[in-house]
Structure 1
Amino acid sequence: MTDLLDSNPQRSSAGVRGRRTLVSSRRAKGSNRWIVWLGRAGILAVFLVGWSLLPVNEALRARWPVFDEFFLSSPGAVVEEFQRLLIGNELDFWVNFWFTVKGASLGLVVGLACSVTMALVLTSSRLLRSALTPIMDLVNAIPTVALIPVIVLMFGSTLETSVVIAALSVFFFTVFNAYAGGASMPKDLANNAAMLGASRAELMWKLRVRYVLAWTIQILPGAIGHALASAFAAELFSGSPGLGRLVMQAILSINSDLVFATVTVIAVLGVFLTMMGSAFSARYLHWFTKSR
């Protein structure tokens, strides 16, 4: 009987067509990936060529002095400054680099922990939700940058300032999404757990926390960007150790090469950390979706 089914010409032809479709779709995806990367490389090449040519255009510099190489720098000068920073460790580059990474990382962890805890509290207690939500909306309306002077007065120009600013930024960026995740837990699931004898604490920490974490991790890449940007801004305005202070020193000394080199480091670091956050988010959400 199996041989008869396998020998069915219609079934065999359908299987062949399915395999051909699968192979062609994989090839199309591979070619599209190459096209995307070639497009990105082309955009980068055009940008670098334009950046190299603008400062040497006499007519353009005469009309708009901002395009002078003194202000705009050039890719070659930035690469040389980059080498001095990385290899020569000028201006204690690596010390400042790790201060920024540490401040952003600690702020991210503290902000996410507070966000998840607050979301669990708000979704588990109607009384606390009614009391705290207006206060959170009010504080959220204040720009995080505006709080830097207050934090500096409290902690001084220290690593703690960067951590607190980054934590506040991450907290208000993620807490409302985390709250929506906690509120999305099916009521039937909560009712069934309660019927089986689950307490409110068990309902919170064994069931609802999964939804809060999933919705929080969904925006983890954005939270990483907020943590890094906030730590950098805190260093820039407070003078605490880090890449932000390095940029401020470059601005005060009118060193455009150092400014662009440091900003490039921040950009590369941000892309790398965001890619790591995206990979972790995709991995976790994959397992969360399968386990539901």
Structure 2
Amino acid sequence: MIGKATARGMRLLRPLVTLAGLVAVWGALARWGHVPPYMLPGPDAVARALWTQRAQLTPAALTTLEETVLGLVLGIGAGGALAIGMAVCTPLRRWVMPMVLLSQAVPVFALAPLLVLWFGFGMASKVVMAVLVIFFPVTSALGDGLRQTEPGWMDLARTMGATRWRVLVHVRLPAALPSFASGVRMATAIAPIGAVVGEWVGASSGLGFLMQTANTRFQTDLMFAALAVLAVMTVLLWWGVDRLLARALYWLPRHADVD
């Protein structure tokens, strides 16, 4: 028990020490690096902005979080459904996969103005942007997992009289869950990018909109504060999804870092 508690403490301590070191370097550059405050505010200025501007930061963070979660849910659902469809129907894969690849070849910054034009300045365009950002990782991860199912398992299931549908549900999908979980974790980490990019292009709320507004007013401390909130929100969201996946896929081994 003590060993496990010590290992958990070390895993928590390491990123905290790294973060403290980065903040110390940041503070030293801001104080003695001859950098103007409007270009690089110090950690103390950003901390003050976090407190004094909390009335702006809190609703902006909630808006971005809502857009991110909605995009994450829709993107995971759509990407998973398409991956299953392509695994079941080979002609569908031949027709659809080039379009999926093409959607990733176009930069999201180029699509953002069009999405705002089509879906408006509200939440819909940001959710669609988040879906586009995370759609490919989920589809690719689950698709790879379904294609790499152990052939012997499927042969055994067919020998026992399993239909194609039962082979998919009881053999291929369970075998692909680890790959799917990896895709979901990746999608969770990058989902806020789509929401924030959409807010930069056209929005009336959200952390991206707040950063854009602060940039035009040279409120660099507020920009850094919004960025810090976004980073913390993304880390907590990823941690929550990772815990959820670990509980859902409880039979998979999790190799703890014990060094």
Q: What is the distance in 2 between the residues matched to 1:108 and 1:212?
A: 19
Which among 57, 68, 72 is matched to residue 104 of structure 1? 68
Code of the residue aligned with 2:40 in structure 1: it is: L
Matched, 1:50 2:25: yes
Distance 1:224 1:37, change over 3 A: closer
Q: Is the 8 A contact 1:81 1:258 kept in 2?
A: yes
Percent identity over the alignment?
26
Q: Is the 8 A contact 2:67 2:127 kept in 1?
A: yes
Q: List aligned pairs for 1:53-64, cutoff 5 A.
A: 53-57=28-32, 60-61=33-34
- Corresponding position of 2:224: 260
Q: Point out the structure with the larger helix share.
A: 1
Code of the residue aligned with 1:45 in structure 2: it is: A
Q: Is the 8 A contact 1:97 1:243 kept in 2?
A: yes
Q: List aligned pairs for 1:13-28, cutoff 5 A.
A: 26=3
Deviating more after overlay: 270-279 vs 245-254: 270-279
Matched, 1:70 2:38: yes
Matched, 1:164 2:128: yes
Q: What is the distance in 1 between the residues matched to 2:171 and 2:40?
A: 55
State the Cα RMSD in Å. Answer: 2.7
**Shift in Å at residue 247 of structure 1?**
0.5
TM-score scaled by length of structure 2 = 0.85
Distance 1:44 1:212, change over 3 A: closer
- SS of aligned partner of 1:69: coil
- Corresponding position of 2:242: 278
Query: What's the CA shift string for 1:50-95, capped at 9, x where partnerless?
Result: 33333343xx42xxxxx11232111111111111233xx1x3x332
Distance 1:239 1:281, change over 3 A: same
**Shift in Å at residue 106 of structure 1?**
0.7
Deviating more after overlay: 240-249 vs 195-204: 195-204
- Corresponding position of 1:121: 85
Distance 1:219 1:135, change over 3 A: closer
Q: List aligned pairs for 1:134-145, cutoff 5 A.
A: 134-145=98-109
Q: Is the 8 A contact 1:236 1:248 kept in 2?
A: yes
Higher RCO, Cα 8 Å, sep 6+: 2
Which among 236, 249, 264 is matched to residue 213 of structure 2? 249
Which among 112, 137, 155 is matched to residue 119 of structure 2? 155
Structure 2: tracts of 5 or more residues without a match:
254-259
**Shift in Å at residue 134 of structure 1?**
2.2
Structure 1: tracts of 5 or more residues without a match:
1-21, 62-66
Whose radius of gyration is greater, 1 or 2?
1
**Shift in Å at residue 102 of structure 1?**
0.8
The number of equivalent residue pairs is 254
